[in-house]
Every structure is written in C-alpha cells, then in structure tokens.
Structure 1
Amino acid sequence: MPVIRWVGVAATALALGTLFATPPDAPVKKTDAFLDAETTGLLNIEATECFDDPEYDRMANDKVVVYVPCTEGADNQSYGFVHAAEGTFDRPTVAAFGWDRCGQAFDKLWRGPSAEGLDFYPVLPTAETWADGDRVIMCVVYRPTGRLPDSVLPLAGR
C-alpha cells in the first residue's frame, strides 16, 4: 500500500510541476538590461554581425558574448549604433534615447510582413563606460520565439 501512495504522490507532483513550468517555446522579451557595454565580448561585435546570448565562460570567469556567423544562425544581430549626447550619465534618459533611436531604425529596416516575429533592444553604456567617454548604443534585432536562421537585415535594393 505505501508504494501505491508514493507513486500517486509522485504523479501528482509531476502534474503540478508541469502546470507551473514555462513552456520551452515561450517568447522571450529582451530589455535594455539584457546586455550592457561591459558584457565581455560585446565590444567585438560590429554592425550587421550576429552573436549568441551570453553564456558563462569558465576561462573568463564571466558571462561572455560570442560572435557567430549569421549563416550559422544566432540569437541576435546588431543592426546599427546610435550616439548619445554628452552630459551626465542618467540611465533612464539614455535608455529612453536608445529605445527611441533604435526603434526608428528598426521601423525603417523592417516594415510590414518583414517585421513579423522580430523585435529589438538597445545595448546601453554603463555609468563606468560613460565615465570613460562611451556614448555608443548598439541596436540589436532578435526573434522572441527562437534563433535567427540567418541574417535578417533586408537586402539593399529590395
């Protein structure tokens, strides 16, 4: 009798666990806090290049962003940079500027059906990098439901 109860309890726990689990294909919303200018490897990424989400690297003892050729599929693609004005670092103001400017560029590049399934986020300087003169905000496109299969930048002349 105790074995049957244990099996029943285990089955109930398993059923409840799946009730509260996040589905594996749940969309991911990346914000301006997802990455920042101090994320290791990020400064090696140029406009139009693809890269994966940061993963912990034992050698670096930190989370690291790694360049990936777009043709191999990637989590993100840089589609440009915008420059914030000089002044005192105010994260909310810099973030609002990044969302606005990256959003304008996103809307120009991806219109109508080509924008379906894509989203963007800005990568901001930090107070530390700002103090060193960094005013650059990277604009990044990604697919909330999974990896980009290739470059998603529209071809010139289309």
Structure 2
Amino acid sequence: MAAIRHWGLLPAVAALGTLFVVPPVGPVTKSEAFITAETTGILLIEGGECFGDPAYSPGAGEKIVLYTPCARGADNQSYGFIHAADGPYDRAALSAFAWRGCGERYAELWGASRPDLRHYPIMPTAETWADGDRDVMCAVYRPAGRLTGSALPPAP
C-alpha cells in the first residue's frame, strides 16, 4: 500500500516541479561571460558540435554544459576555435581579440545570410590561462529559440 501512495504522489510532484521552470522572456543575449573555459563540460565540445546552455546538475553540484546532437535541436553550436598569443592574462584584451576573431569567422561562414543567428566567444579564464589554455571557442545561437539542426552552411 505504501508503494501505491508513493507513486500516487508522482504526478503532483512533477506538476509542482514545472511551476519553478521559468521560460525566457523575449530574445536571449549571450556574452563572453555566459560560458567560460571553466564551465564543466565545455572543454569536451569540439568544432561543429552542438551543446546545451549551462544547467544545474544535482549529481555534479554545479552548472554543466552537455553535448547535444544538432539534429535534435540545441541551444548552441561551436563553429570554430581561435588561438590567442602567449603573454600575461588580460581579460579586456582577450575579450576584444575573441569578439573580433569569432566575428570574422562568423562573417566568413554566414555573412548576412542568417540574420536569425548571433555569435559569442567562450574564453579562457585567468585560471585556465595560467594552465596554458589559449583557445577561444566560437559559438552560434538563435536569440529567439533553439537551433533546429546544424547551423553550419553546407561545405562547397
């Protein structure tokens, strides 16, 4: 009988959980601070792969990024990497370099053909820089919603 009561509460608990999910209001804007090299899971994403926005994982006890097959729809897609030169960590200079480099690569791939897309860089932090990380990931997303497949243009 106790098992019946336990399962009988499941729909109520599930319904209660949906009350705490707040959908975004209007378009989303992502910056270089949205995801960094320290965000768990981001270093597992390769060029061309899709991934979700950071979400809290009770098992990990922190926000993590997970790979998502592009065909299923995703929040973001990596479209390349740029390598920063060695030197002291300078967040402002790195940010300017990352936005410029990712913007140039974005223009090469899409130009003005995809006004529904925006890009943002995923940068090393002071801590990952100290460990030798010099790579900036360039990511693309749709401010109005999820990508509906790979956003990359077909190869010529």
State TM-score, norm by structure 1.
0.83
Q: 1:1-158 counterparts in 2 under 5 A? A: 24=24, 26-112=26-112, 114-157=113-156
Alignment partner, residue 4 of structure 2: none
State TM-score, norm by structure 2.
0.84
Alpha-carbon displacement from aligned partner over 1:8-37 (angstroms, at most 9, x marks no partner): xxxxxxxxxxxxxx9955111100010000
Q: Runs of at least 4 residues of structure 1 off by over 4 A?
A: 22-25
Alignment partner, residue 12 of structure 1: none
Helix, strand or coil at the partner of 2:108? helix
Tell me, yes or no, if the aligned pair for 1:25 and 1:146 is still in contact at 8 Å.
Answer: no
Quote the Cα distance in structure 2 between the aligned partners of 1:32 and 1:92: 11
Which consecutive residues of structure 1, in runs of 5 or more, have no partner in the other structure? Answer: 1-21
Helix, strand or coil at the partner of 2:133? coil
Tell me, yes or no, if the aligned pair for 1:47 and 1:81 is still in contact at 8 Å.
Answer: yes
Are residues 88 and 26 of structure 1, via their aligned partners in 2, closer, same or farther at CA, if it must alter by over 3 Å?
same
Alpha-carbon displacement from aligned partner over 1:114-133 (angstroms, at most 9, x marks no partner): 32100000000000000000
Alignment partner, residue 11 of structure 1: none
Helix, strand or coil at the partner of 1:115? coil
**Based on CA coordinates, which of the two structures has the bigger radius of gyration?**
1
Quote the Cα distance in structure 2 between the aligned partners of 1:152 and 1:64: 22
Are residues 23 and 56 of structure 1, via their aligned partners in 2, closer, same or farther at CA, if it must alter by over 3 Å?
closer
Provide the aligned C-alpha RMSD in A.
Answer: 1.4
Quote the Cα distance in structure 1 between the aligned partners of 2:89 and 2:129: 7
